[in-house]
């Protein structure tokens, strides 16, 4: 594992991928918004980074708020909310409509992942090691 994310152009695989740098630890989770505007990465460094795919060379938005590695990320179907899940046993919700998203004041203790009845639903979970 390294501290980068790579974007390949699937229409022209011969083109070198764009390398996105910024994390100070291995990347553990990645998601792309349904409208293909945002890429979010979650890392061992306790941060998430929000990359604007319209301008991948721009600095990502740095999202801080967890006390341990971020191991799960998801973006809502309406492209409004980002949820990050961490080994600190919390999930945080971020409003992507904010210029610089801040975590909402509501935190929830993570629960073990379980299958959900609909393929349109997902649930982040954590696994405790040790």
Contact 20, 38 (CB under 8 A): no
Looking at residue 130, what is its pLDDT?
40
Contact (Cβ atoms closer than 8 angstroms) between residue 44 and residue 30:
no
Whether this model's pTM surpasses 0.85: no
| Residue 46: strand, helix, or coil | coil
4-109 sits in which CATH class?
mainly beta
Higher model confidence: residue 111 or residue 28?
A: 28
Q: Are strands 90-95 and 81-86 parallel, antiparallel or unpaired?
A: antiparallel
pLDDT digits (tens, 9 = 90+) for 48-94: 999 999 987 889 999 999 999 999 999 999 999 999 999 999 999 99
């Amino acid at each position: 594992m390294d501290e980068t994310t790579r974007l390949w152009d699937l229409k022209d695989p011969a083109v070198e991928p764009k390398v996105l740098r910024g994390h100070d630890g291995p990347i553990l989770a990645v998601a792309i918004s349904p409208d293909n505007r945002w890429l979010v990465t979650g890392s061992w460094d306790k941060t998430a980074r929000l990359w604007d795919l319209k301008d991948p060379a721009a600095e990502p938005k740095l999202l801080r708020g967890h006390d341990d590695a971020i191991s799960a990320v998801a973006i809502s179907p309406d492209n409004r909310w980002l949820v990050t899940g961490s080994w600190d046993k919390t999930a945080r919700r971020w409003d992507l409509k904010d210029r610089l998203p801040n975590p909402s004041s509501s935190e929830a203790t993570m629960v073990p992942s379980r299958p959900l009845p609909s393929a349109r639903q997902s649930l982040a979970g954590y696994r405790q090691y040790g």
